[in-house]
Amino acid sequence: MGYWRIYIIIAIKYKQHRFKHSCMKFILLLLADTLTVSVFSQKTESYYDFYWKPCSKENASYFSIVQKTDSGWLRTDYYYRSGQLQMDALYEDEACKVQTGHCYYYHANGRPSATGRRVNGKNEGICLSYYSNGMTSDSANFQNGLVVDKRFRWHTNGFPYDSTSRLNDSLYVRVSWFDDGSPSSAGYMVFDKPEGKWQYFHHNGQRAALEIYNDGKLVGAEYFDESGKLIQDTSGVNRESSFKGGEEAWRKYLQKNLHWPQRLEFKTAAAVTIGVDFVVDENGKVINAEVWMPFHEEFDKIALKVIRNSPPWSPAISHNRKVKAFRRQPVTFTWGEE
């Protein structure tokens, strides 16, 4: 009603031809104000736990804002505890299932994690990914989700990880290296599936495996020891890294060694989850441990210390070679529970 009172006063003071102009101006302003309210009313805020499941604010690890724009639905995610930006991306739908437009991702330390453009949820144009130390991890030019020409990936120390070159619409050749620069493997890919003969190498340069693929399925293989001799027992040519004693022993190790930081007490029962990345090297030693999902520096320090002091693991074996294995570990602290 306040708007209309102002409008009546203006109409009385001005002549008839000025009245029409003022009336139209007022209507446009009123419509613009209504539109602004309508747009902002379509903004939603949500909280998510460590595993990206909806949760209460008190248990949140991430905070998300989704807002309707002229170009689609803009979603902005944050690391809740620090307020650091985690993602900024545009989606076609309100449920944020199909990305369209530029997308930006960030590590918890504020450094970029990935950047690129999506069209109907598929990579389009140059897309880049980065490690938390700032080194580039992946670089490729895409068209409709497929690599146009070449794709390069790197290890965290800057050494090449692999190189993929497109030969035609479906055929690619891929060569990979260990993080010390020695050759790791070479072969052909058809639509991201291995095809034909693939060779894998030990760290000393000797061939470790000769594998034959058909439509991504292994149909034949020979394996060799580090001296080049053909081996007969192939039961252990592939395995994941594992804690000695198994997952249950690993869980007990964490529970036994984790402790709630002194001077940080909650009034009620609580659980805090820290995310830690680490690598199990070829000798079964834990290396390169870092916190990727922080909570508080005291919790972070304890989680890192426990992971770094881990007893030896059984190293991973891939294509008859011992290899480094990456692991992402949630570490949970509990308070007030018996």
Q: Report pLDDT digits (tens) over 292-335.
A: 999 889 999 999 999 999 999 999 999 999 999 999 999 998 87
Q: Among 26-30, 209-213, 223-227, 234-238, where is mean pLDDT lowest?
A: 26-30
Checking if the pLDDT of 139 tops 80, the result is yes
CATH number of the domain encompassing residue 91 = 2.20.110
pLDDT, tens only, 262-272: 877 766 657 88
Residue 197 scores a pLDDT above 80: yes
Q: What pLDDT, in 10s, does the model give residues 217-231?
A: 999 999 999 999 999
Domain count, the chain: 4
**Domain end position, chosen among 94, 121, 148:** 148
Kindly indicate the confidence band of residue 336, based on its pLDDT and cuts at 50, 70 and 90. Answer: low
Average pLDDT over residues 40-47: 80
Asked whether the predicted pLDDT for residue 71 surpasses 60, the reply is: yes
How far, in Å, CA of 185 to CA of 194, rounded? 12
Say yes or no: 34 and 59 in one domain. Answer: no
- Residue 274 amino acid letter: I
CA dihedral 65, 66, 67, 70 (to 10 degrees): 140
Q: Is 323 within 8 Å of 317 (Cβ atoms)?
A: yes
- Between the CA of residue 179 and those of 148, 155, 161, 183, 313, what are the distances in Å? 26, 6, 7, 9, 20
Same domain assignment for residues 139 and 163: no
| 176, 204, 237 - which closes a domain | 237
Domain that holds residue 49: 44-148
Mean pLDDT (whole number) for 105-131: 96
Of 55-59, 180-184, 189-193, the one with minimum mean pLDDT is 55-59
